[in-house]
Structure 1
Amino acid sequence: MDFAFGPDDDAFRQEARTWLMAHHPEGRSHAWERELGRAGWIGIGWSEDGYGNRRASLTQQVVWAEEYARAGAPARLGHIGENLLAPTLLAHGTRAQKERFLPAVARGEELWCQGYSEPDAGSDLAGLRTAAVRDQDTYRVSGQKIWTSLAQDADWCFVLARTDPGSRRHHGLSFLLVPMDQPGRVDVRPIRQMTGTSEFNEVFFDGAEARADHLVGGEGNGWRVAMSLLGHERGVSTLAQQIGFAQELERIVRLAVDGGAVDDPVLRDRLVRQWAELRTMRWNALRTLGRSDEDPGAPSVAKLLWGGWHQRLGELAMAVRGAGAAMGPDDWSIERPYELDPLQRLFLFTRADTIYGGSDEIQRNIIAERVLGLPREPR
C-alpha cells in the first residue's frame, strides 16, 4: 500500500501550517473554537454539503490533524461534537437533526460531551441504568454518568439511556441529545484526579428533558448508533494523537541523552523499541483508515496498541529520570503543595490509558467475538 501523500495534500499541508502559525492562542477556549469555525477548519471531513466547512479528502483530514498537533495548538473543546457526534448524525440522524446541530458545531458555537459510562457500567457499557421515559413529545432522563470529558463546558450531551424498562444488556437502549443548561435537572461535578487536575466529571440527570425529535436512530436502536460512534472515535484523530506521542518520546530521548541515561543498554533498548512501535502504529493506522465497516476489529486493535504503548512511555520517562522523578519542584510550598511537571503528569495519567475508552479486556473480547468468531465469554 502506498502511504505517501500527493501534491494536493502537500499544498493543503502548507495552507494549514501557514494558518496555524498566524493563529495560535495560549490555551483552549470557546473563542478559539469560533475562530477555527470562521476560518473553515471545523467539519472539513463531513461528506454532505451545507453542514460543514471546506471539503477535504481523507488524507487531507489526516494532514490537518497532524499539522494541528505538530503546531502545539491547544486541545480542542469542540473535539467531541466535531469528531464523534457529527459523523454519527451524518450516518443515523434525520435531515432536521443535521440542519439543527451540524452547522452550529461547524461554526464552533455549540460544544458537546458524551454520556456513556456509568459507575457500574464503564467498559461494560451494556449494563447502563440511566433511564429515559417518554412523556408525549419529551423524554425525561434520570441517572448518573461518569468520566464525562468536557461536561463542564458543554452545551449538549449525547446520552445513551434505557427507554425500555424491561430490557436487558444492549436491548432497549436509545441515543438522545440532551441540553445541559437545565438547572436542577442536570448537575455536573468535577472529579479530581491523582494528577491534581479535573479533566473528567460526574453528571447527574434528574428528570432532564430531551425532545422526542432529538432521538437519533429510532427508539431501541441506541446500541447500534453507539457502536457506530465508537468506530469514529479511533479514526483520523488517532494519527494526530501519534504526533503528540512522538513529541513526548522526543523529549524523553533528549532527556536520556543529556542526562547520560542513554548509556544504559537496557534503557537504550527500551527507547529504540518505543520509537519502532510508534512507527508501526502509524503504518497500521494509515492501513486501516476509513475501513471500520470492513474491519470491525480495527478500532480495538488500535486502542490496544496505543494504550499499552503510551503507558509504557510514561514508565520509561520515570526510568530515564531515575530517583529524581519522585521529587517535586524547588519552589514547593504550603500554598502550592501539589505541582507536577509534564513528565510526572504523563506517567500518572497514562495509568488510565488501558482502561478508559474501553479497557484492554473489552477490546480483546471484541476482537475474539467479532473478528475471530470465538464463543462469547460465559457470564
Structure 2
Amino acid sequence: MDLKYSEEERAFAEEVRAFVRAELDPAVRDRVLNHKRLSKEDYLSWHRKLAQRGWVAPNWPKEHGGCGWNAVYRFIHEEVMAEEGAPPIVAFGISMIGPVLIAFGNDAQKRHYLPRILSGEDWWCQGFSEPGSGSDLASLRTKAVLDGDHWVVNGQKTWTTLAQHANLIFCLVRTDPTVKKQEGISMLLIDMATPGITVRPIITIDGEHEVNEVFFDDVRVPKENIVGEPGKGWTYAKFLLSHERSGIARVGQSKRELKRLKAIAAAEEVDGVPLIETKAFREKLAALEIELMALELTNLRMIAAEKSGQAPGAEANMLKIKGSEVQQGLTELMMEAVGPYALPFNPEALEPGWNGEPIGPDYAAPLAGTYFNYRKVSIYGGSNEIQRNILSKSLLGL
C-alpha cells in the first residue's frame, strides 16, 4: 500500500492551489476562513468558475461532464480547495442527486438535469428526513399516490438544508404502504415552484436560517419525474448516502481549522504566557492533532484500496464517525481558547463589511455560532450511533 503522492499528483495539487489563489475572490476567501456568512451568490460564483475550469464535478465520469478523476485526484482537489479557503460546492446537486441520476436515471432525466447541475442553473435540496423519521428513514410517512399522469404528494419534510434557495428537491415518498417499509419507498424529482409546496424556516440555536420545513399539500408531480423504478427509492437513497458520508470526514477543512486554532492559541495569553505554550492546552491540542493525523491516514488507506480496485468497507463509517468528532473537537478548543470572549453572540458581526464595535478579538465573534452549528455533524448523514451499530454488525457480527 503506497500512501505517498507521486510526482504527478504533487504537481496536480500545486495546479489546484494556483487556480484557487488566482480565481477566488479574496473577500469570499476571507469570509470562509473567518466563519462569516456566505450568500447564495458566493456559492454560485465559485461554482461557475469551477465549472468553466471543468473541475466542478470531480466524482462524475467524463462522458457526463465530470472530471473522471481517480480517488487520489478527488482527495487532493478537495483537500487543497478546503485548505485555501474556497467555499464548498453545495453537495445536493453535484455529490448526491447527480451520481444517482447517472447510475439510475433515464436518458431524458440525464439530458435535462445533469448539464443544469454542472452549470449551477439548478439548486437542489434533499427531502429525506421527516418529523419522527430521521435516522429511522424507512419509517417516513410522506406519501405519493398515482393519479393519471401525476403523482399526488402529501406530507412533510424537515431539516431541509438551504431549501430557501432551491428550485428543485429530490424526495423520498411512500408509494406502496402494503409491502415491507423499505420496499414501498420511491424517489421523486419535484419542482419547488409547484402549487402546494410551502417552505417554512427553522432558525437554529446559532441564530442562522440554514434549515427548513417543507410541506406538501396535494402537490402534483409529473409521472415521469420518478427516479428509476417505483419501490426502489430505498436502494437509491443508500447509494446517495454512501456518497454523502464519504465527504463528511473533511480532512482538508479540519487541517485548515487546526491552523486557525493554533493561531488563536498563540494570540491568547494566560498570565502573560501564550496559551499554546501552556502544558494543559498543548496536551489537548496534541491529542486532537493526533486524531486528525490518524483520520487522514485512514482516509488515504481507503483511497489506496479504491485505487487498486477494492470497494470501500467499514472505513467509510469510521471516517464519518471520527471526522465529525474531530470537527467538533476543533470548535470546542477554539471556544476554550478565547474563554469569556466566546460567550457574547452578535449575529451582525458575521455579516460581510460589519464595522461595529467588536467584543474581544475579531476572531472570537463567530466561534460560539460555529460551535453550536457543528453539533449537527455527528447526526446528519446517519448519526454516529447508527454508524457504530453498522460497524458492530459488519466487523464483529453483533
Q: What is the TM-score of this pair, normalised by structure 2? A: 0.84
Inter-partner Cα distance in structure 1 for 2:313 and 2:345:
44
Inter-partner Cα distance in structure 1 for 2:104 and 2:239:
9
1:68 maps onto 2:81 in alignment: yes
Cα deviation digits, residues 340-373 of structure 1 (max 9, x gap)? 7232222211222222222222112222234433
**Fraction of identical pairs, as percent:** 35
Cα deviation digits, residues 150-186 of structure 1 (max 9, x gap)? 211112111111101234532301111111121x321
Q: Could you tell me which amino acid in structure 1 is paired with residue 107 of structure 2?
A: R
1:249 maps onto 2:262 in alignment: no
Inter-partner Cα distance in structure 2 for 1:180 and 1:328:
34
> Mean alpha-carbon deviation: is it higher for 79-88 or for 37-46?
37-46
For the 8 Å contact 1:124–1:362, the answer to whether it is kept is no
Query: 2:200 maps to what in 1?
Result: 189
Query: 1:354 maps to what in 2?
Result: 378
Classify the secondary structure of the residue corresponding to 1:357. Answer: coil
Classify the secondary structure of the residue corresponding to 2:182. Answer: coil
Q: What RMSD in Å do the two structures reach over aligned CA positions?
A: 2.6
The alpha carbon displacement at 1:271 in A equals 0.3
Inter-partner Cα distance in structure 1 for 2:53 and 2:281:
45
1:180 maps onto 2:192 in alignment: yes
Q: Could you tell me which amino acid in structure 2 is paired with residue 18 of structure 1?
A: A
1:230 maps onto 2:213 in alignment: no
In 2 relative to 1, CA 286–95 (structure 1 residues): closer, same or farther, beyond 3 Å?
farther
In 2 relative to 1, CA 134–361 (structure 1 residues): closer, same or farther, beyond 3 Å?
same
Structure with more helix by fraction: 2
Q: Could you tell me which amino acid in structure 2 is paired with residue 57 of structure 1?
A: N
Query: 1:139 maps to what in 2?
Result: 151
2:318 to 301, 324, 345: 301
The alpha carbon displacement at 1:15 in A equals 2.8
Residue segments in structure 1 that go unaligned for 5+ positions in a row = 375-379
Query: 2:209 maps to what in 1?
Result: 198
The alpha carbon displacement at 1:247 in A equals 1.9
Inter-partner Cα distance in structure 2 for 1:338 and 1:194:
21
Q: Could you tell me which amino acid in structure 2 is paired with residue 254 of structure 1?
A: A
Query: 1:377 maps to what in 2?
Result: none
1:327 to 341, 344, 347: 344
Map 1:132-171 → 2, pairs under 5 A: 132-171=144-183
In 2 relative to 1, CA 189–103 (structure 1 residues): closer, same or farther, beyond 3 Å?
same
In 2 relative to 1, CA 298–139 (structure 1 residues): closer, same or farther, beyond 3 Å?
farther
Inter-partner Cα distance in structure 2 for 1:125 and 1:54:
32
Classify the secondary structure of the residue corresponding to 1:81. Answer: helix
Classify the secondary structure of the residue corresponding to 1:234. Answer: helix
Query: 1:106 maps to what in 2?
Result: 118
Between 1 and 2, higher relative CO (CA 8 Å, sep ≥ 6) is seen in 2
Cα deviation digits, residues 54-90 of structure 1 (max 9, x gap)? 442322222221222122122334x211011112222
